[in-house]
Amino acid sequence: MDWREQTVLVTGGTGSFGKRFAQVLLEEQKPKKLIVFSRDEVKQLEMRAVCDDGPNSPVRYFIGDVRDRDRLVRAMNGVTVVVHAAALKQVPACEYNPFEAIQTNVLGSKNVIDAALDCGVERALMICTDKAVNPANLYGATKLCAEKLFVNGNAYSGQHGTKFAATRYGNVVGSRGSVIPLFLKQKEEGVITITDERMTRFWLTLDQGVRFVIRSIELMNGGEVFVPKIPSMSLSDLADVIAPNCKRWITGIRPGEKLHEVLLSEEEARHTMEYDGMFIVTPPHSWWKGPKVQGQALPEPFSYCSDTNPHWLTKRELEHIVQLEVDSQQAMAVGAN
């Protein structure tokens, strides 16, 4: 796949992932055109300082909402690759505003699929989350629905139409809502709030997430869910690293929150292949005839959970990650001034 020949559109393009994805793609892959599709004009204005859309730039900005199918069709004219990152992501907000979560995360994803089919897009990849596996909250349930829509969207395009697939990964360091900025702020006040000291999470950096998405697009044949092999971390270890001398206030697990996360369920593992640095969930349907990436079958029973993951971040590695977040915050503060 030659990225220099691709016209790429990313929904939710001004979010944490979208901004970094645009930077990496422009610097390393140099696409023919990159369209940033989002509904926030202020964030687009701020992003222009990093990704200019001048006459000689391949970048273009589209104001639009994934709820608006007609606007998506207009934006996808001539597009060959779509990365669908737009979503309502905050668990409490989705619980309190369930209709809005469904309108954006489920029906918005359907609109992206419809527009991609109608515009002849070659590849469309959705960004999913570990919270979609055995979902315990509405956010996870809506992302599970959206993921299913993308996988089964291939039934509408056939062998020679748009290819649809998804990526699924865990918590992203430095993304909006990350626990690290919260702990850093609480450190100044002397008290860290922890829901449960036993809690574990999958963890990866923004750059790792971006490069995994790029690789998944290059590998996809349609119908796959790509899951990276990433480390786990303990919330208690993270608190030790950031604020070892602070008091801890245990608040208890919030509604819809899990003690541990799952990236690959035991049921899915039966039709999952282990590949270089990742797992690839293949379509289980008997009617699916598309080509599949070759890999090694998983043993039974198998599941990929944050508490039983063989790869854990050490405290030294966590210190490095925290320092990267501190440096990022300082850089943003300088830029704002």
What pTM did the predictor assign? 0.91
User: Residue 272 has what pLDDT?
Assistant: 92
The confidence band for 227, taking pLDDT boundaries of 50, 70 and 90, is very high
Catalytic residue among 131, 143, 229, 258: 131
User: Residue 158 has what pLDDT?
Assistant: 75
Percent of the chain with pLDDT strictly greater than 90: 64
**Amino acid symbol at 188:** E
Q: What is the mean pLDDT of the chain?
A: 90
Spatial neighbors of 151 by CB under 8 A, at least 6 apart, are 164, 165, 166, 223, 224, 225, 283
∠ CA 226-17-9 to the nearest 5 degrees?
80
What would the pLDDT profile of 156-199 be if each residue is shown by its tens digit?
987 778 999 999 998 887 666 678 888 888 888 889 888 888 99
d(Cα 267, Cα 104) in Å, to the nearest integer?
28
> Is residue 211 within 8 Å of 246, Cβ to Cβ?
no
Residue matched to tokens 């207009």: 74
**Does 97 score more than 60 pLDDT?**
yes
User: Residue 4 has what pLDDT?
Assistant: 95
> Is residue 219 within 8 Å of 30, Cβ to Cβ?
no
Nearest to 119 by CA among 217, 7, 26, 2: 7
Beta strands in the chain (DSSP E): 7-11, 33-38, 59-63, 81-84, 123-129, 163-169, 171-173, 191-194, 200-205, 225-228, 232-234, 247-250, 262-264, 272-275, 278-281, 296-297, 304-305
The confidence band for 337, taking pLDDT boundaries of 50, 70 and 90, is low
User: Residue 176 has what pLDDT?
Assistant: 62
User: Both tokens of residue 238?
Assistant: 């993270």
- Kind and range of the H or E run holding 76: none
User: Both tokens of residue 197?
Assistant: 């000291």
User: Both tokens of residue 172?
Assistant: 């992203």
User: Residue 261 has what pLDDT?
Assistant: 93
Q: In angstroms, what CA-CA distances link 194 with 202, 259, 262?
A: 17, 12, 20
CA 190, distance to chain mean position in Å, is 32
The confidence band for 255, taking pLDDT boundaries of 50, 70 and 90, is confident
**Does 154 score more than 70 pLDDT?**
yes
Neighbours of 9 (CB within 10 A): 29
CATH topology of domain 3-170+203-229+262-307: Rossmann fold (3.40.50)
Q: Looking at residues 267-281, what average pLDDT do you find?
A: 92
Tell me whether residue 131 is one of the annotated catalytic residues. Answer: yes
**Does 5 score more than 90 pLDDT?**
yes
The confidence band for 330, taking pLDDT boundaries of 50, 70 and 90, is low
> Is residue 28 within 8 Å of 4, Cβ to Cβ?
no
Question: Exposed, middle or buried by CB within 10 Å (0-12, 13-18, 19+), for 333?
Answer: exposed
d(Cα 138, Cα 132) in Å, to the nearest integer?
9
d(Cα 21, Cα 11) in Å, to the nearest integer?
11
d(Cα 96, Cα 108) in Å, to the nearest integer?
19
d(Cα 306, Cα 312) in Å, to the nearest integer?
9
User: Residue 334 has what pLDDT?
Assistant: 53
User: Residue 165 has what pLDDT?
Assistant: 96
User: Both tokens of residue 63?
Assistant: 């104001």
